[in-house]
Structure 1
Amino acid sequence: MLRFMPVGDSMTIGSAGEHTWRYRMWRHLCATYDGPCALVGPRETLHDKQADAPTSYAYAEPGFPRAHLAGWGEGWLHMAPLIRAAVREHRADVLLVSLGLIDLGFYTNAEQTAENVRSFTAEARAANPAVRMVWLPVIPNVRAADDPPFGAEVTAFNERLAKAAADLDTPSSPILLASVPDTWDLHTDTYDGTHPNARGEHKLAAAFATAMHQGWGVGGEYGARD
């Protein structure tokens, strides 16, 4: 059994009424992975925007393993202290991580955020020395497009994330750096300039799937599935 744990912010937890890229990834794994697998993590809910709390189970398609470690407004800063217990308790083998926008927007600069990436990695490995990770760089959002200093901080962090992946990658606990979808379009892939719509969900799932297929031979080529 290969256990995948999605780790992320609002783009990963999703909100009431959405499928989420986690669902798209599950459909992909069911179709292409040759062996038993699961999505694991300590949380299952979506974010309820009206309540401003992670209390919703109103998935567009609820019939999939909904476990994750993601939260609206959470970043590397917040997940680093949680990841050791989550990996240990849920026996995660692969972490699919999409974090950083919140950190840079509200809490830490690029250098500080990169230090939290390294802390996160150490904590995850303390629970499972053989844990594998796929990191998705920060996808520039509408703020990055409209606010040049913030956009520059996103670029600086992504450069530091790539360096951390190169520095921390080991044969026993490999790290893959996924690619930001080269066709990502804020107007057609998001509903508000940040959060993915259905088209964007597929592109996020494809970014992780492509990295694992090319880097580790896990799964196959991504094909969009409802």
Structure 2
Amino acid sequence: MTIGSAGEHTWRYRLWQHLCTAYGGPFTLVGPRETLHDPGTDAPTSYAYADPDFPRAHLAGWGEGWQHMTPLIGDAVRSCRADVVLVSLGLIDLGFYTNAEQTADNVRAFVAEARAARPRVRVAVMPVIRNIRVEADATFAGQVADFNDLLAKTVADLDAPASPLLLVPPPPSYDFHTDTYDGTHPNETGEHKIAGAFAEAMWREWDLGGPYEAA
């Protein structure tokens, strides 16, 4: 959902475009990684962005879920001096490695590690949005619903004035039939909708940026 694949812009790029126009202060995207997933090698080895001229840094992985990111987030936040962490959850966070309760535990560990590295860090999290497996697998759909409920409660429990957490409402018009290229990963319209959801939430809750307009 976040790393993107060779030839894509990614929603990170769409958000960067928006913030360049709307944000009144200096900013950049940060993270220890820059690559895209390369379908030819099935590895994160590509730099073939549709438009490479933007801050490509991130902390995301193809096939990596929240449990893989939790041990990495502290060092990433510390070394990159991140002020805001954006998390877009996908199929991998529930469909392969962990169930709803285990993934909710990863939320707490992830936030704790980020705060230990930078006590005033802000974290914005978008729940797992509807994808093709939700439609095809009723058991998995139930896990997604359970986790999204647990996520909302966990974010509310962990929210703190010095280090606010923000649950980003999924884009209401997002439809995996038309906003993805394979039922899961966003195409151009999906990228804009995910970026717009983050942008609108940060603007309304934290006064960062402004209303989203697709560039």
Q: Structure 2 unaligned runs (5+)?
A: none
For residues 122 and 7 of structure 2, the distance between their equivalents in structure 1, rounded to whole angstroms, comes to 31
Matched residue count? 215
Matched, 1:179 2:169: yes
AA aligned to 1:27 is Q
Q: Matched residue of 1:78: which SS?
A: helix
Matched, 1:78 2:68: yes
For residues 109 and 87 of structure 1, the distance between their equivalents in structure 2, rounded to whole angstroms, comes to 26
Report the alpha carbon displacement of residue 75 of structure 1 after superposing the two structures with TM: 1.0
Deviates more, 1:92-101 or 1:37-46: 92-101
Residue in 1 that maps onto 2:135: 145
If the length of structure 2 is used for normalisation, what is the TM-score? 0.99
AA aligned to 1:127 is A
Given the alignment, which residue of 14, 17, 21 partners 1:31?
21
**Are the aligned partners of 1:44 and 1:67 in contact in 2 as well (CA < 8 Å)?**
yes
Matched, 1:19 2:12: no
Matched, 1:43 2:67: no
Residue in 1 that maps onto 2:87: 97
**Are the aligned partners of 2:37 and 2:43 in contact in 1 as well (CA < 8 Å)?**
yes
For residues 174 and 182 of structure 1, the distance between their equivalents in structure 2, rounded to whole angstroms, comes to 24
If the length of structure 1 is used for normalisation, what is the TM-score? 0.94
Report the alpha carbon displacement of residue 103 of structure 1 after superposing the two structures with TM: 2.6
AA aligned to 1:93 is D
For residues 150-187 of structure 1, the C-alpha deviation after alignment (integer angstroms, 9 at most, x for no partner) is 00100100001101110000000001100111101111
For residues 73 and 90 of structure 1, the distance between their equivalents in structure 2, rounded to whole angstroms, comes to 23
For residues 99 and 224 of structure 1, the distance between their equivalents in structure 2, rounded to whole angstroms, comes to 22
**Are the aligned partners of 1:100 and 1:113 in contact in 2 as well (CA < 8 Å)?**
no
**Are the aligned partners of 1:114 and 1:164 in contact in 2 as well (CA < 8 Å)?**
yes
Matched, 1:117 2:107: yes
Report the alpha carbon displacement of residue 100 of structure 1 after superposing the two structures with TM: 4.9
For residues 94 and 20 of structure 2, the distance between their equivalents in structure 1, rounded to whole angstroms, comes to 35
Residue in 2 that maps onto 1:55: 45
Note the aligned Cα RMSD (angstroms): 0.7
Identity across the alignment (%): 69
Q: Matched residue of 2:124: which SS?
A: strand
Residue in 1 that maps onto 2:152: 162
For residues 81 and 37 of structure 2, the distance between their equivalents in structure 1, rounded to whole angstroms, comes to 25
AA aligned to 2:75 is A
Residue in 2 that maps onto 1:202: 192
AA aligned to 2:178 is T
Q: Matched residue of 2:71: which SS?
A: coil
AA aligned to 2:78 is R
Given the alignment, which residue of 66, 90, 102 partners 2:56?
66
Residue in 2 that maps onto 1:7: none
Q: Matched residue of 1:193: which SS?
A: coil
